[in-house]
Amino acid sequence: MTRVTIRGFDIYKGYLDTGAQTRLIEVLRPVLKSAPLFRPTTARGKEMSVRMTSAGTHGWVSDRRGYRYEPAHPAGAGWPAIPEEILGIWRDLTGLERLPDSCLVNYYGEGARMGMHQDRDEADFSYPVVSVSLGDDALFRIGNTTRGGKTESVWLNSGDVAVMGGPARLTYHGIDRIRFGSSRLLPKGGRINLTLRVVT
Ligand code: SIN
Ligand code: MN
């Protein structure tokens, strides 16, 4: 494993070996079964290309009413618990007693991307965000704490984990594109990103 720091984002390259990545996919299977992926729409009514679901006490949703955390999946049931294997990553990299309230699961199929944004729907920005990459490679773009300006890009590969904390907690970031089919971790291809956050 090597760590690179880009604009305050600590990226642990190869944090999860192949066995650990496969294990995470296994523990995510029941999560996806009880809380199926859905395609959020923005407040303006545009469908996002990424499909999402969550685990934890709080799940991130977006629809015509805007972005927010909700205690239940749009279909009505409460979110499943965050699997222990995922909480272990948080504990190891943050060293915090406080555990995340939310594990957002993003699925990027062919052509999916995520525009530049800040993570700012949480109450306390002193907690870091931990972001796990699984499956296909993704081109991650890192900007500034205000919109616009020069950016830097880095490829995130399966098993990489990024920690956004300190002044970088509110840095703009996004996914320009994935290299569909570049990994064999997911049987149907694509990429899963797990984002762990303290919400309340
Ligand atoms: C996000 O910022 O919500 C996702 C980032 C990623 O997919 O790596
Ligand atoms: Mn984000």
Average pLDDT over residues 87-115: 98
pLDDT at 2 over 90: yes
Pocket-testing residue among 175, 192, 199, ligand 1, by greatest number of atoms within 8 A of Cβ: 175
CB of residue 173 inside a 6 A radius of ligand 1: yes
Number of C-alpha atoms within 13 angstroms, CB side, residue 112?
A: 23
CA dihedral 134, 34, 72, 56 (to 10 degrees): -50
Token pair 């999860």: residue: 16
Q: What is the pLDDT of residue 43?
A: 87
Which residues sit opposite 194 in a β-bridge?
105, 132
What average pLDDT is seen over the chain? 97
Q: What is the rounded average pLDDT of the residues 85-107?
A: 98
**pLDDT reading at 148 higher than 90:** yes
What phi, psi does 117 have (nearest 5°)?
-155, 165
Ligand 1 atom closest to the Cα of residue 117 is 2
Evaluate: CB of 11 within 6 angstroms of ligand 1.
no
> Does pLDDT of 169 surpass 90?
yes
State whether the beta carbon of 157 lies less than 6 angstroms from ligand 1. no
Q: Do the Cβ atoms of 101 and 200 come closer than 8 Å?
A: yes
Pocket test for ligand 1, best of 11, 37, 106 (most atoms within 8 A of CB): 106
pLDDT of residue 46: 94
* Structure confidence by residue, pLDDT tens digits, 131-144: 999 999 999 999 99
Q: Do 34 and 105 meet the contact criterion of CB atoms below 8 Å apart?
A: no
Torsion 164-2-94-24 (CA) sign = positive
Mean pLDDT computed over 119-131: 97
Q: Which ligand lies nearest the alpha carbon of 40?
A: 1
For residue 3, give both structure tokens: 């760590």
> What is the mean pLDDT of the segment spanning 173-187?
98
- What's the pLDDT score for residue 38? 98
In this prediction, residue 15 carries a pLDDT of 98
| Residues 22, 47, 147, 65, Cα dihedral to 10° | -110
- CB neighbour burial string for 17-43, b if at least 16 within 10 angstroms, e if fewer: eeeebeebeeebeebbeebeeeebeee
Q: Give the mean model confidence (pLDDT) for residues 40-57.
A: 95
pLDDT tens, position by position, 65-83 = 999 999 999 999 999 999 9
Could you tell me how far CA 153 lies from the centroid of its own chain?
Answer: 17
